[in-house]
Amino acid sequence: MDSDSGSLDDMGHARPGTDHLAVVALTLLLGGSVIALVGQHTAAQAGPAIVLSLLLAALAAGLVLCCVRGVHRHLPGTAGLHGLLAAGWGGRVAGLLGAALLLELLVTLAGAAQSMAVHLQVALANAGFDPGYGMPVQVIAAAGLGLWGLCALMPPRRAVLAACALVTVKVGVGALLLVLAARHVHYAHWIPWLPEAIAPYRFGVGGVLAATLPLLGVFASAGLALGLPGLRRKTSGRHVNALLAMVLVATLLLIALAALQAGLVEFPALASSRPLSVALHGHPSLQWLLPLLPLAGVAGLAALQVVLLLLAAPLATAIWPADGTGPRCERHRRATVFLVLGAMLLALWVPMGMLPALPGAVTLLVMAALCLAALRVEAVMPRVMPLLAPSAAALCLLAAVDRIRSWPV
């Protein structure tokens, strides 16, 4: 991970390259509770046809990123999400959207910490330790935030390397599952399409589309990786291409896991909040893999916290005016500390289960604004963009409405 290493950023550190951006995008796509989200919609909406939902979500996210690429090509002097929003919509709109996005990232950071603490307790219980021993779950979440905050204070390249090591654990467990469990898959269990009349499930076209929207919300969040500090402005086209590649990689992995869990047992057994665990329980020779699932969850959510801090800190420094309070690197560290402390307070104060563990509606609104900004930029593929940009923005808005409706109450 040392490519594109020819210059320094304005903080005196080596600039992150395209490979670092790919790690950040992959962490956003797989680091949170995405596997649980796929399982939830496999059990409740699309059924084994969740693979079709994943494909549709990836295509829609590709459309969004193509619109963002068009904006990048014609605004080469901008830096980060805030810079793109300011160039396309003006400083006031960019400030409002940036502040809302920063608040959402803070809330998501606390939610990811709480979810990681739950996974950690399960992993400790599987290892024979008493999960109730010691600190409560919310205190563990706050302590974890402090630890990953120290990682985020490192130079961006080193912090991304830490996130890479963590997300490799999660992806590695998924790959191990695919390799060892593939021979137990029975084709008769994998029914790619089930009629809508099978109550209480929502299958058919409606179920596939209903499951597509929340998955699109996850895939479109890959665009947040453009806010990684120190990215080179002249290679933005390569950066968006890297995001598109990561969306494809994540889609293929999720499709393989969805097909695997649907092929291990008969579908009615998957009507559970943890369908992958249910699928492994049906095969005694695979049950030794069960303790690895919460461990993978811990690693993925820890990587997500590091990445969210890497994205939120430069956004905060872009929104807050530089009033002579210190060099940019110091303001970046100060913002990271404030974000960690704020997220720790949220993790301690907000009840478990009330905070999201993945970027949500505001992220999608920002992506919609970037898509529509393509219409405001001169000479951006005039024959195609007037059709593509509104379509991509509409998909983001639909996914944002779906995310708001699913907020726990």
Render each residue's pLDDT in the chain as its tens digit; 409 residues: 545 544 445 445 566 778 888 999 999 999 887 877 777 776 667 777 788 889 999 999 999 998 888 787 777 666 678 888 888 888 899 999 999 999 999 999 999 999 999 988 888 887 777 655 567 889 999 999 999 999 888 888 889 999 999 999 999 998 898 888 888 877 666 655 554 444 445 566 777 888 888 899 899 999 999 888 766 655 566 788 888 999 999 999 888 888 787 777 666 666 666 777 877 887 888 888 888 888 999 999 999 999 999 999 989 988 876 554 555 667 778 889 999 999 999 999 999 888 888 888 999 999 999 988 888 765 545 566 778 889 999 999 999 998 888 776 4
Cβ atoms within 10 A of the Cβ of 26, count? 28
Which CATH architecture describes the domain 18-405? Up-down Bundle (1.20)
SS3 string, 43-95, reads: HHCCHHHHHHHHHHHHHHHHHHHHHHHHHHHHCCCCCHHHHHHHHHHCHHHHH
Length of the chain measured in residues: 409
- Spatial neighbors of 49 by CB under 8 A, at least 6 apart, are 192, 193, 194, 203, 207, 208
Give the dihedral sign, CA 319/83/97/399. Answer: negative
- Spatial neighbors of 379 by CB under 8 A, at least 6 apart, are 74
Give the H or E element holding residue 194. none
**Of 128, 112, 109, the residue nearest 36 (C-alpha):** 112
Cβ atoms within 10 A of the Cβ of 205, count? 12
> Which burial class, exposed, middle or buried, applies to 327 when counting CB atoms under 10 A from its CB (0-12, 13-18, 19+)?
exposed
Question: Which stretches within 324-408 are classed as H helix?
Answer: 328-349, 361-376, 385-405
Give the H or E element holding residue 130. none
**Of 310, 402, 303, the residue nearest 32 (C-alpha):** 303
| Domain boundaries, given as residue ranges, for the chain | 18-405
Residue 396: strand, helix, or coil: helix
Give the H or E element holding residue 308. helix 292-319
| Distance (Å, whole) CA 101 – CA 196 | 37
49 touches 65 (CB < 8 A): no
Task: Copy the structure tokens of residue 265.
Answer: 């047992």
Largest CA distance in the chain: 67
- Spatial neighbors of 70 by CB under 8 A, at least 6 apart, are 374, 377, 380, 381, 385, 389
pTM of the model: 0.88
